[in-house]
Amino acid sequence: MTATLTHARLLSGRSLRTLSRQPAYLLFTLVQPMVWLLLFGQLFRRVAELPGFGGNYLDYLTPGVVVMTAMMSAGWSGTSIVQDMERGVMDRTLTSPIRRSALVTAGLAHQALVTVVQSLIMFATGLLAGARYPGGARGLLVVLACAVLVALIFAGLSNAVALLVHQQEALIAVAQFLVLPLAFLSSVMMAPALMPGWVARAARFNPVDWAAVASREALRAEPDWGLVLDRTALLAALAILMAWLAARAYRVHQRSL
């Protein structure tokens, strides 16, 4: 167990160092969330005049875009695994004493940290652009937790797909295929009350929607904590499932060698 944690720490340290040495990539990782927020905020500004948004669209939008961004960047997380497989790095790792659980943990920890930083940037951007979040610090913590859980879900899935398909193009195709439908079949941008019935029903099964609902609720002045707890529990369960799937995928990958 301690060895697993040490290995996970060493490996996530490596991936964060790699990230810090690719300034262009790092810049886009940090700027992109601001762009999402401001772009959607501007484009759909007048939507807030409809009932169900509470007046200021940016207030409504921020938590949703935070979890959507968490999903989008996590979807790419498997690309570094494919890179390691294309080089001999994966082979070397798998013949070392590193446990598969440490590999999964390292990948997810990296993604969780990136997500927290991105989310905080978006909140800061939102505040500067005039949005207000009555839920305060407690609400913010819930949003961060939801964003991290979404990141774990999609990073776990992305890692598993990477290990099964061994191919950058296929992995990106899967990520692209999932990301937009999941973002739009949710209440990230549109209030639940205004959605067509079938979209609202589909959203009930969409983890991005669970996270958006819980996050928006937690940022209200008087949140319905039952609702928040219900959605975060679903997210946590799915995150555990995906992490397990990623660990299994290492075994399947090794059997294909």
Q: CA–CA separation, 48 vs 50, rounded Å?
A: 5
> Segment near other proteins (CB under 8 A), from 16-24, 116-124, 130-138, 168-176?
16-24
Q: Which of 164, 71, 153 is closest to 108 using CA atoms?
A: 153
> Segment near other proteins (CB under 8 A), from 82-90, 140-148, 155-163, 221-229?
82-90
Q: Which of 20, 215, 243 is closest to 114 using CA atoms?
A: 20
Among 16, 89, 170, 172, binds other proteins (CB under 8 A): 89
Radius of gyration of the chain (CA): 19
* Smallest distance, other proteins to C-beta of residue 29, A: 15
What burial class does residue 4 get, using C-beta atoms within 10 Å of its C-beta: 0-12 exposed, 13-18 middle, 19+ buried?
Answer: middle
What burial class does residue 170 get, using C-beta atoms within 10 Å of its C-beta: 0-12 exposed, 13-18 middle, 19+ buried?
Answer: middle
Q: Report if residue 1 touches other proteins, rule: CB under 8 A.
A: no
Judge whether 19 and 118 are in contact, CB under 8 Å: no
* Smallest distance, other proteins to C-beta of residue 19, A: 9
Among 71, 98, 146, 164, binds other proteins (CB under 8 A): 98
Q: Report if residue 231 touches other proteins, rule: CB under 8 A.
A: no
Q: Report if residue 14 touches other proteins, rule: CB under 8 A.
A: yes
The residues of the shown chain that bind other proteins, judged by CB under 8 A, are 3, 6-7, 10, 14, 17-18, 21-22, 85-89, 91-92, 94-98, 166, 254-257
